[in-house]
Structure 1
Amino acid sequence: MYRNRRLMFGINCAPEIYNKVTSQVLSGLQGVNSIFDDIIVHGKDTAEHNVRLELLLTRLQEKEQEVQEENENSMCTEEYIRFVVDESTPVAMKASIIEQESRKDSELTDIQQLLKTRRWYETDNAQNFNSRELNEYLETINIEHRNTTPLWPQANGEIEIQNISIIKRIRIAHVEKKNLEEELQTYLMMYRSTPHTTTGVSPAEMLFRRKIRTKSPEISDYDQQDQEIRDRDSEEKEKEKIYAEERRNVRDCDIHDGDLVLVKQKEQNKLSTQIIKIICQY
């Protein structure tokens, strides 16, 4: 009879077994919690946090456990955690108290002021963006809430590409040990002053109708017309539309009311099929 000395993550119960063993190793340590392969250490202040961290490292060394250096998060958490948890015990608060404290929050105030400048607000179909409270708030400030096409990730392509660039900049700043906020501001300045491939002008020029001051020497003034930019934008989008339709073999719809069609359905359980037959109704 043989016994495995390594835990195989191919089996379904492997994560639960790993989490159970990790909890046993860390049992008795205050301010230390494990979530699968992550270990969280918290304290009331930096001194208490460091003491608990030393005890954790000693316990791991006694149990012959190793921690990968690339997974150690050395970034300061005080910049992101704005509320102190008292002994990790949730405290029930009335809605009136939450609203009163929210009015004093400068970040929430900035978000509210930003939303009021918009005529419409577009999100995907996630539940946190389609809650009753959010829709009621948008109605009170007279903002139309629009949703992207369900199950169509291409509708969020522009945002996803922007997020990839921002995350890449954050990783570079972390590796080079530079200030995160300053590097993000530098990235935003470069993005706002760089001419867009579709419109031919930078986002700052379209917004302020002038070139913002950068390190690149130039003496030309803003001479772009809005209609010219709109025509160029429409032309580029039409090219992308033709290219996408050719790749997807798009053709005119010849389906009529009452025809039997195949429709892709969302997986509900292990026995549900990907395709179902329904009667088309316009």
Structure 2
Amino acid sequence: MNKSFLIMVDAYSKWIDIHVMNSTTSEATISKLQQTFATHGLCDLIISDNGAAFTSKEFADYVKSNGIEHRTSAPWHPASNGCAERAVQSFKEGMKKIKEGTIQEKLNRFLFNYRITPQTTTGLAPSELLMKRKLKSRLDLVFPNIEKRVQERQQKQKHYHDKKSVNRQINVGQGVFARNFAIGSKIKWIPGEVIKQSGPLSFHIKLQDERVIRRHITLNCRRDLKCEDVLLVAG
């Protein structure tokens, strides 16, 4: 395509970064390396071919100043850097299969497809090894997200429950009506004051005659009182 490309591959995850190069000087190469390092951090070791950009004093000074070890493959023997050569081959084959778009658009599509495809060496996609997560693609739209569906249904259930539910929060010191279970008494509800919470929905109530009883919250209401105005407690 009448362009030069700088191809970098992570030996562990097989993640590939590719830059279109308008120039192949050491300065331009270092600039592209800095872009990659700005995302992933500095590497420990660079293995490259013997191109002029990698054998210059400027490049040697750059890697040395950043604590990076630099090794070059044997002259005229690219197989000694097999990982990089396989990345170059995959790149060339992948770009030929993409017929439409600019060079950058083709490159973006290639990188996306490559990064989400499991590798034969590792058994995982480069994105999973490098980022510890899968990158979302259009294929994910075919399969339902079970976790998301469950969360949405739970939110709907909570919404409908909250619309119909009555406030069941009672605080110590709050006045309430407690169900009267005394045999023969015509008074079904007696006033009192909450003095202690003994469970999530259980409370100790002090009556006007100083007796202390324990009751549990209920949603029942007296006909002459509104549920939203007073909280009732029953046994």
TM-score range, shorter chain: 0.3 to 0.5
| TM-score normalised per structure 2 | 0.42
Structure with higher helix content: 1
- The one of the two structures with greater contact order (alpha-carbon pairs below 8 A, sep at least 6) is 2
CA radius of gyration, larger in: 2
| TM-score normalised per structure 1 | 0.36
Structure with higher strand content: 2
